[in-house]
Amino acid sequence: MARIRVLVVDDSVVIRKLVSDLLSADPGIEVVGTAVNGRAGLQKIALLKPDLVTMDIEMPELNGIETVRELRASGNRVPVIMFSTLTERGAVATLDALAAGASDYVPKPANVGSIGRSMEQVREALIPRIKSLVPRIDTRTVPTGAVAPVAPAAPVSLRDPAQPPVNGYKLLVIGTSTGGPEALGSVLAGLPRLPVPTAVVQHMPPVFTQQFAARLDRQLVHAVSEAVDGQVLRPGSVCIAPGDFHLKVVAEGRDLVARLDQEPPENYCRPAVDVLFRSAAAVAGPAVLSVILTGMGSDGCRGARTIVERGGSLIAQNQATSVVWGMPGAVTTAGLAERVLPLSEIPAEITRRIGHQAGQLPVGPSAMSAGGAR
């Protein structure tokens, strides 16, 4: 099996050496070169044609965000993993890089007092992402980041596609990971303001989820926020699980309420999609519509099974449009999804099931007050 060819782009000679060494220690990865900034990185990408690039964000001459933007503008779809800092500024820059076309990100090693442990953390985060973004086992898999030029196939029907419940859906829950920020933004942008609340788990660290929610809130007609413990989930609102906290939906009186906790991670994740989905099944049963978007691993599969067993519904993103088809692939292979759709068709399917319900909220500027409140 051919090794995955990686280019390391970073202005720090120390980081270039450390990252190159930890990647080269893996028998499935070959570091084919390094570059000191984005401009040199673009030249090396054209020359070496790597399978994947790791890239710093802050670099002289051409920073990581500008480099990704130029790379994508040229039509090059090579997967790019950004190194980011776990700060508010780092979160904003990382979200900018993802919006520009980066595939994923990992925290940059910063604890020089314990460089061995720092690099071990980077190795644990980076190598699985590289192997998910550049699969080598199944040659039929569409390479991550590649544009799929094939004509859209008919939607796969694994369970009999259900009609909306007689009394209507009460809750929309969405789970996603790698590639999720752009995928989730695309889905929400295509939806009207729904007559039910939406709860989301996007695998992200603390600070990042707050910045991600704030960005979506500025961009969309939906009221998007990072979930707060005890928050009542209102129709038309979208709440996103905070980094390092599980999000559950519970019933308190006639309200659906967000509850946060720091119980042990599931699937190595906190927040975990499984936790959210199980709570949704418990509180709303057949009145839950769930969606699994692009993501690494299988988080959400067990929770999705619980939703389906209680009569709820599941939509999964298809392989051709997923950055990584781990999470949606797991529920598809398990036969849990009623529809497996390209990303562009998921908003219409959600709207078909939920948007028709009596009391649908208005769409667009007319739904906003003069002060901009939802």
C-beta separation of 304 from 290 below 8 A: yes
C-beta separation of 107 from 205 below 8 A: yes
Please identify which of the residues 222, 299, 313, 322 carries the catalytic annotation. Answer: 299
Residue 359 CB neighbours (<10 A): 7
CA distance 40 to 22: 22
Residues in Cβ contact with 28 at an 8 Å cutoff, skipping those fewer than 6 apart: 1, 3, 4, 131, 136
Query: What dihedral do alpha carbons 93, 96, 98, 101 form, nearest 10°?
Result: -130
CA distance 174 to 160: 21
Q: Among residues 144, 140, 131, which one has the least CA distance to residue 28?
A: 131
Please identify which of the residues 177, 237, 290, 313 carries the catalytic annotation. Answer: 177
CA distance 247 to 202: 11
Please identify which of the residues 56, 132, 203, 274 carries the catalytic annotation. Answer: 203
Residue 137 buriedness (CB in 10 A; 0-12 / 13-18 / 19+)? exposed
CA distance 159 to 40: 50
Q: At what angle do helices 208-219 and 180-189 cross, to 10 degrees?
A: 30
From residue 51, alpha-carbon distances to 8, 66, 248 in Å are 11, 20, 39
User: Is 10 a known active-site residue?
Assistant: no
For 120, what's the count of Cα atoms within 13 Å in the CB-facing half-sphere? 4
Q: Among residues 332, 274, 335, 267, which one has the least CA distance to residue 302?
A: 274
User: Is 299 a known active-site residue?
Assistant: yes
User: Is 203 a known active-site residue?
Assistant: yes
Please give the structure tokens belonging to residue 277: 């989905």
Task: Provide the terminal-to-terminal Cα distance of the chain, rounded to the nearest Å.
Answer: 53
Query: Any idea which residues carry the catalytic annotation?
Result: 177, 203, 299
